[in-house]
Chain A
């Protein structure tokens, strides 16, 4: 019997299962609130786990992590406010479906595909960990740089009306990301006020750029109106069939999620976007992407959750946290005297396998609870917009402040949000801008870091352009750009033909 099945019973002990249930339900709710990210939810819980048994503590942390990632889709879909960077792609088709009265369907599809991705991700963690750990170590600064460049190619998919405006917004994002203290070079950049010393935190940017323009628009419209006219009922059976009928989308989502999740430092945040972009390129429905196409939603959510399991591989086997959330989990392990590393599963099989089993069962619970909450959650959009706007604004301020206990972050959020409202009026999207903020540091820091190493070695060009992994990544980038260009040309021809006829 495989090890992970042997310890499965521990998860179903009454106390452990109660914790798992509470963690999953709480995580879904925390994740659904704009501004509360998985990292923060896990960090908030660490002190509570001090006084718990190691198994119970880890089950709590694991289930909350799993559920917040999936819960982030709720506000992304219903309010077009991504709870975490991972959910940016979810807003694209998800929110459009809401406007079409398909909120219930969007939430059902989101939870089901989250579950598929999540389960696959944990299974990868269970079966391939030792192989993958070595693989993850192979990623150096040049590869991370190319991964970030690959992320940039997604902009063409994000900017629905104009690629040029999308690129311009992306560049603004890149510039914003360079603000603050740079620890690599030990210099302060663009910090004319001390509020900017800490840089622009991604959560403050996300809340500001997405939530604030939304709130202003809601308040500007007539009071008493709600943002969607109706929520059509949608049968669960149909949702299941729709998800099961998209094996290619699920596969692309899972594979992208697993790979991006594994690479330490790539941040997992771009998994949803890359999967969305790739599945669009391979899809027959590609022209419907961005207009409420369920496939886009399924691709993004599968990838987001497929990332969770593999993102723990470097932590559990090498004791190296690959993401901010993993760093917080490391603290949760150490407090109980459990040292992650190659011997983790032989030294503490009961604790570590129970933890992984809890992730597995947590995925299933997350789907069940999420689906149960769908109908209720979807009703939120029937509220009059003026009340909804007030509630969102309070959450936005509260969430932004609590990330770093910083009033500066609240100011940054408000300023970015105000600016974004004007930019949106001129056709610039928040998506490409946030992408710039997310990818800017990864590209820049890894380039600088890689260049320093390369200068001491064989030179910058061979360092970035030779080696199997570099070449593979560059090939994917070229293919991705070529794909975008081909799609653009086809779309333009079609428009011309329609105009001519």
Chain B
């Protein structure tokens, strides 16, 4: 036998072996007995990140009879700021209630507006189930910064157009939205510096004084509060974690809660209504489990905010309208 033929034959055998490994049988499902096997939740961010970590906590009690009666397992599909996982979810997930995903608002809505030809998901082909967490953006400055309030930052920006550097995790994420709202409300001209390594890198650079200010997650800034000054919260009310930090609104800068990072569970459009109704009833109860879920979230410094299906649907619609308007100058 010629070497090349030999090579070919061995590749064929190899390919067959690999194919066999990837074949998995899928049993038929009926909505009446839902759920009769474990339920998967796709997380569009890496294992160990904030979304993944919180998703694992809030779903840990799922197997109890009062909740789903079946365990939930997490599948991480990170990449392209969440776009890869969510694209995969809307194009491939079967609408049978066994394939759910975690959402991050405003990220997925902003992406669906900013990249209409790349992103295949939007609030039209997804069904909200329930919200578990809300992490507002906060305005932070280095510990030795001359700024002591959001007003000081605005004063400086007015006196030095374009010279105030404000960093955040990237483009079209909550920090960027907060920045855009801040700039618009204060009527200033400043520079947004998206950090290549996301929120953690951005936080480090504010501590190290590489930039003059930043918008970052309240939960992360809270943990590092000894190395930073937290000047304002971009939300409608003050936060339990930081009762002394005023909102931007209180300081006369008209910024609402549009940048708050909401996290929750969603299903693909076309999931049977009885399955959605079942999930919409049980999942918020599971998130509200005081003894384990709420305690673990609090211990981990992750703010819990449980919202039902209708409330989330309304929030999605509101964000969609507002972000379309806010981002229209940035999107060609």
Contacts and interface: CB of A to CB of B under 8 A. Distances in A.
B48 interface: yes
A172 interface: no
A404 B226 contact: no
Contacts of B204: 137, 264, 314, 318, 320
B208 A184 contact: no
A183 B296 contact: no
A219 B7 contact: yes
A427 interface: no
Interface in A448-487: 448-449, 452-453, 455-457
Given A185-B171, A446-B196, A452-B191, A404 B11 contact: no
Given A342-B227, A405-B77, A406-B84, A186 B203 contact: no
A342 B143 CA distance: 14
Contacts of B80: 180-181, 183, 188, 197-199
B87 A183 contact: no
A334 B53 contact: yes
A223 to B, nearest CB: 7
A123 to B, nearest CB: 24
A406 B79 CA distance: 10
Nearest to A201: B79
Given A188-B115, A404-B78, A405-B76, A197 B6 contact: no
A184 B57 contact: no
A324 to B, nearest CB: 8
B13 to A, nearest CB: 8
A445 B202 CA distance: 13
Contacts of A314: 204
Interface centre among A180, A184, A334, A452 (most CB of B within 10 A): A334
Interface stretch (B124-132, B157-165, B242-250): B157-165
A318 B207 contact: yes
Contacts of B135: none
Interface size class of A (residues with CB under 8 A): 35 or more
Interface in B289-309: 296, 299-302
Interface stretch (A1-9, A19-27, A138-146, A364-372): A138-146
A384 interface: no
Contacts of B227: 318, 341-342
Contacts of A340: 223
A390 interface: yes
A183 B194 contact: yes
A181 B81 contact: yes
B201 A43 contact: no
Interface residues of B, number: 68
Contacts of B88: 406
Contacts of B195: 184, 449
B79 A198 contact: yes
Nearest to B91: A194
B46 interface: yes
B84 A321 contact: no
Given A47-B56, A331-B48, A390-B14, A404 B170 contact: no
B195 to A, nearest CB: 7
B111 to A, nearest CB: 9
Contact of A455 (B6, B191, B197, B208): B191
Interface string B15-39: 0011001000000000000000000
Interface of A: 40, 42-44, 46-47, 50, 137-141, 180-181, 183-186, 188, 191, 194, 197-199, 201, 216, 219-220, 223, 264-265, 314, 318-321, 324, 327-332, 334-337, 339-343, 386, 389-390, 393-394, 397-398, 404-406, 408, 441, 445-446, 448-449, 452-453, 455-457
26 contacts: A46-B53, A50-B60, A137-B207, A141-B210, A183-B80, A183-B194, A183-B196, A185-B171, A186-B170, A186-B171, A198-B83, A216-B7, A328-B47, A331-B47, A331-B48, A334-B299, A334-B301, A335-B296, A339-B301, A342-B227, A386-B10, A398-B21, A404-B78, A406-B88, A453-B191, A453-B211
Given A47-B74, A223-B6, A321-B200, 10 more contacts: A47-B56, A180-B79, A183-B81, A194-B87, A219-B6, A327-B49, A334-B299, A405-B76, A445-B196, A456-B193
For the complex of A and B, 8 pairs with smallest distance between CB atoms: A198-B79, A337-B299, A328-B48, A186-B171, A445-B196, A181-B80, A43-B47, A137-B208
